[in-house]
Structure 1
Amino acid sequence: MLFVALLLAACTLSAALCIEALGARLRIRRLGDAPIGHRPHWPRVSIVVPAHNEEAHLEPAVRSLMAQDYPDLEIVLVDDRSEDRTGAMVDELARRDPRIRALHVRDLPPGWMGKNHAMWLGARAATGEWLLFTDADVHMHPDTVRRAVDHALRHGLDHLTVAPLLTVRGLVLAAWVGLFTLLFIASERPHRVRDPRCSHGVGVGAFNLIRRAVYEAIGTHRAIALRPDDDRQLGRQVKRHGYAQELLVGGERIRVAWYQTLGEALRGIEKNTLAGMDYRWDIALVGLAAVALAMLLPWIALILGAGWIRWTAAAAIIAIAVGYLLANPPPLWRGLLVLPVGSVVLVYGLARALVITALRGGIYWGGRFFPLEQLRQNTTHNASL
């Protein structure tokens, strides 16, 4: 009886994932859907790019920013204590283009994570009416910034975040990323953030465009100085303070190779898994159990069960597969070929991240260790403004 109850619970969770993915597909707009409006004046935009040991990715990414057709653009490159050639590349890029400002961080002050501190410094040095926070490995189409600003102005937004096209190598990594995206949609509900009555807030590190006045009103990155999930928390701060927000799908206009290998992906989520639960172990364990139930139990029941149990398991698997297709663009669809393997790796990765965080008593990021006691002081609910 317990197995049957768990299987029915797995079916319910699978159906919920599929429904949320359908809502996202129907309600989230694309950045390139509407034509760019004619404007006699475009507000100044400052793009802030933090870079820590990014010599392999920085130059092509910045070239895509230099190619933007936006009429009033500033690019602030922040070399965050890099140990490779990133600092020299930042200076060279600044010499090539007068729109680029180069900043160098030599030391990290107490109470900060490196990336958050770099973005805060970049925003302080920026002169734009709008700030665009992006990463040093993001590639943008030449009209991306202009389209985003036009959309934000046309719809009266204070914060616009855009989900990039994720390029991955290998079937298992594609399945992992695709399932992770499905979980992101189900947990963050980005298709609901346009509704001012909805408390959900969202942010994506590849593209966070925010009015400078709003950025300062929500406390800047000081309010989330010790949050490894800085992009997500920036979006949550915007919604908590009652400002207008929307998420768009970028498609080909914003591309990023999120993780190059599966091992890199598993290491990458170590810093964010417990942070995504506001450092609450009860929520983290319940969430892990729910994911394992939805992703793994139907496959076990399909193999070991018979009769209606097998058909019920198949229905749950189909719901996950449909949700996967709805949540992801065609390049990631090939991950369906190894969906059961991707499901196992996803659950393993989440469990591994929680176990490692518990054993360490904190996380490593940017070459530094941050204990959980310190991180819990900077949760969404008690961030000092």
Structure 2
Amino acid sequence: MELLLFVITCWLLLQLAFTVWNLSRMPKLGKPVQRQKWEQEYDFPDVHHQHGNKPLLSVLIPARNEERNIRECLESVTACRTDSIELEILVINDHSEDATESEIRKVMAQDDRIRLFHGTTLPEGWLGKSYACHQLSLHARGEWWLFVDADVRLQSEALEAAMVTARSQRTGLISGFPRMETGTWLEHIVVPMMAFIIGYHLPIMMIRRSPRPVFLAVTGAWLMIHRDSYTRSGGHAHIYNHIVEDMELARAVKQAGDPVTLADVHRHTSARMYRNAAEVWEGYKKNIFAGTGRNPLLVFGVTIFYSLLFIFPLVMLLWSIATGQPVLATWSGAAMAIGMVTKGIIDRFSGKSFWLGLFMPISAACLILILLDSWIASLNGKGYRWKGRTYG
């Protein structure tokens, strides 16, 4: 048993070193990015003739039952500095059953840059968010389009910083995970795991440098795309029936020969995706199995891997203390500490508390349980419920 824990500890040390290096390679929003040799070259027409010397940015916001979020979201967008850009804000009320439209109109009365659209009947086979985004794309006039979820809040420099990075890239897609605000216990435990999975496993620099779609991580909560790349990739019409539509869109952009960048945006954006434990569970359950490519072998691998690295050392530590085995306790404690520190570093990088890393064994256990629940829901055909809609 000591040998197994020694191997686990060594692996965790290597992962810690990789994580520190990996996070240092993430581009920052507001900084230019360098073009890669594999990227296709395009002749860009003059897009400024209608707007002086300022590029037009379209902010596109799908909203379904977002009464509690949409007003603050819109107010954060309208409060952004726009000295170097022109701005249009397009919102679609996607068959909301609450006071979403009323909240939108309150902000519209104060800012004429906002245009409101009403969602049409969902076509057969389409999923709701993809169709809402598709409808917004039909009305966008900007050079770049920024899709933003209603629970996202922007800081004052966010839009201008986004355009600096976008225009240096010239084409393609840029995304980033907002700083995740959390309140309830399961939010604290589970929500930061999204950033952990990326920082711990995915070589961030390869998202930008490699044309291979396997190197991808994006979020539909904050996703910026050049209008021509949207057309070349097929847009949401191409991925109309995918639950994880943001990843599929990014994959299509890469397959079209355009770049994708995952940027550090947490200083410019924040979001509270969920408000209670039930929402956390159902929200992750809806996406997590689809995020594995619906691959049962990957589900099994993740379960074993996370159990060995983050849960097994805790079990062994408790057992070694109870049975008086100091050597085993030392290796178990070392493995636990390294895993916690690594999680804490990623949390701190993402704008959360370093001390959340102390809950790493619990976070890993919750993630495994949600993944298994998501897999079972797919197997038994019950699907997933979110905002009044059922997803298969």
The answer to whether the superposition gives a TM-score over 0.5 is yes
TM score, norm. by length of structure 2: 0.84
User: Counterparts of 1:316-355 in structure 2 under 5 Å?
Assistant: 316-329=335-348, 330-355=351-376
What is the SS of the residue equivalent to 2:178? strand
Q: CA deviation at 1:11?
A: 4.0
1:99 aligned onto 2:113: yes
**Partner SS, residue 362 of structure 2:** helix
Contact 1:201 1:239 in 2 (8 A): no
Structure 2 equivalent of residue 376 of structure 1: none
Q: 1:13, CA displacement in angstroms?
A: 5.6
Note closer, same or farther for the CA distance 1:111–1:13 as it changes in structure 2 (3 Å cut).
Answer: farther
- 1:236-292 deviation line (CA, Å, top 9, x unaligned): 222232212222212331011122223321111111111011112222222222222
1:245 aligns with 2:260: yes
Match of 2:71 among 59, 62, 71: 59
Distance in 2, Cα, partners of 1:365 & 1:260: 14
Write the distance in 2 (CA, Å) between the matches of 1:284 and 1:19: 26
Cα drift, residue 73 of structure 1 = 0.7
Structure 2: which amino acid aligns with 1:18?
Answer: L
1:1-385 alignment runs, 5 A limit: 7=5, 10-11=8-9, 14-15=12-13, 17-31=15-29, 41-70=53-82, 71-170=85-184, 173-196=187-210, 199=213, 200-305=215-320, 306-329=325-348, 330-371=351-392
Instruction: Tell me if structure 2 keeps the 8 A contact 1:30–1:251.
Output: no
Residue-by-residue CA offset, 1:335-367 (whole Å, 9 max, x unaligned): 234343333323322223323333335333442
Whether the 8 Å contact between 1:10 and 1:297 is mirrored in structure 2 is no
What root-mean-square deviation, in Å, do the aligned CA atoms of Structure 1 and Structure 2 show? 2.5
Note closer, same or farther for the CA distance 1:241–1:346 as it changes in structure 2 (3 Å cut).
same
With over 3 angstroms needed to count, the CA separation of the structure-2 counterparts of 1:299 and 1:243, relative to structure 1, is same
Query: Runs of 5+ in structure 1 lacking a partner?
Result: 372-385
SS at match of 1:251: coil
Measure the CA separation in 2 of the matches of 1:175 and 1:51. 27
Letter in 1 for 2:346: A
**Count of residues in Structure 1 that have an aligned counterpart in Structure 2:** 365
Paired residue type of 2:330? W
Question: How far does residue 157 in structure 1 lie from its aligned partner after superposition?
Answer: 4.8
Aligned-pair distance for 1:309? 3.3
CA contact (8 A) 1:79 1:86 kept: yes
Distance 2:31 2:146 in 1: 21
**SS of residue matched to 2:224:** strand
TM-superposition CA deviations, 1:312-347 (whole Å, max 9, x none): 322322221222122122533232343433333233
- Secondary structure of the corresponding residue to residue 177 of structure 2: strand
Q: Which residue of 2 aligns with 1:379?
A: none
Does 61-70 or 338-347 show the bigger shift? 338-347
CA distance in 1, matches of 2:238, 2:5: 42
Q: How many angstroms does 1:294 deviate by?
A: 1.9
Q: Quote the offset at 1:220 in angstroms.
A: 0.2
Instruction: Tell me the SS of whatever aligns to 1:271.
Output: helix
- Deviations along 1:158-197, one digit per CA (max 9) or x if unpaired, are 2111221111125553232333421233344434212135
Name the residue aligned to 2:35.
Answer: none
Seen in structure 2, the aligned counterparts of structure 1 residues 219 and 344 have a Cα distance that, compared at 3 Å, is: same
The sequence identity of aligned pairs, in percent, is 23
Q: Verify the 8 A CA contact 1:21 1:182 in the aligned structure 2.
A: no
- Higher mean Cα deviation, 208-217 or 245-254? 245-254
CA distance 1:231–1:190, shift in 2 (3 Å): farther
Which contiguous aligned blocks of 4+ residues in structure 1 show a shift greater than 6 angstroms?
none
Gaps of 5+ in 2: 33-47
Aligned equivalents of 1:189, 1:260: Cα separation in 2: 31
Query: In structure 1, what is the Cα distance between the partners aligned to 2:11 and 2:273?
Result: 27
CA separation of 1:65 and 1:324: change in aligned 2, threshold 3 A: same
Paired residues of 1:87 and 1:104 also in contact (CA < 8 A): no
Q: Which amino acid aligns with 1:351?
A: L
**3-state SS in 2 of match to 1:76:** strand
Cα contact 1:10–1:294 (8 A) shared by 2: yes
- 8 A contact 2:347–2:353 mirrored in 1: yes
Q: CA deviation at 1:147?
A: 0.8
